[in-house]
Amino acid sequence: MKIRIEIRNDSVLLDGYVNAVGRDSKPIITPRGKCVEQIEPRAFQRALDRTENVDLLLNHDKTRKLGSIKDGNIELFEDNIGLRAIATVTDPDVIEKARQKKLRGWSFGQYVNKDRMEERADQLPRRHVEDLDLFEVSIIDDRMSPIYTGTSIEHRAEQEVIAEQRGDEFRAITVEIEQPKAKDEPIDYSGYEKRISDLKCC
């Protein structure tokens, strides 16, 4: 998956896909055992339609919250490719990691409400996740493998549930955006004037 990373003086914009729908994952360990997994189309959008908020974290660390839908700095939606995230992060550590090309991937946390297993001859079973609740997406840096899968037991609505994390690497297209000059600061045209002068003399 590709992601566009725009680095500015005081923020970084990340625009890319957290997960593709209808596509096999790499082999992973799930509560159903070892398998490959597919998120069914529209599962992410149904989860987003039901929820009021999804947090944006660094490395699934709840103490490293970078924003949320409620905070207004991340937009999440599902299109025909998968779950797309557009986030603006002002955390200095993340900005520096972006400059040093140390951001490695996206990951997400889900509660699976409905799934089914597809047994396949001489291959790992395929798990189809048909319905889920999305509670966080994470930016993964060089300290954690993006191909991370994990599970934990959490309390939700007065019962124990399994929280599952999934991740994937991205190929980053990184650009640095120059900040526009202040209105009262004169624009330096000397570089353009020199180029015009050079063109006239040839």
Band of residue 192 on the pLDDT scale cut at 50, 70, 90? very low
Quick: pLDDT tens for 46-55.
999 999 999 9
Band of residue 153 on the pLDDT scale cut at 50, 70, 90? confident
Rounded to two decimals, what is the model's pTM? 0.83
More confident residue, 71 or 8: 71
Quick: pLDDT tens for 158-175.
788 899 998 888 888 889
pLDDT at residue 189 above 80?
no
CB 14 within 8 A of CB 175: no
Contacts of residue 59, defined as CB under 8 A and 6 or more positions apart, other chains included, come to: 138, 139, 140, 141, 143, 144
The whole-angstrom separation of Cα 8 and Cα 14 is: 11
- Average pLDDT over all residues of the chain: 88
Quick: pLDDT tens for 108-148.
999 999 999 999 999 999 999 999 999 999 999 988 876 66
More confident residue, 197 or 108: 108
Structure confidence at residue 143 (pLDDT)? 87
| Other beta carbons within 10 Å of 3 | 20
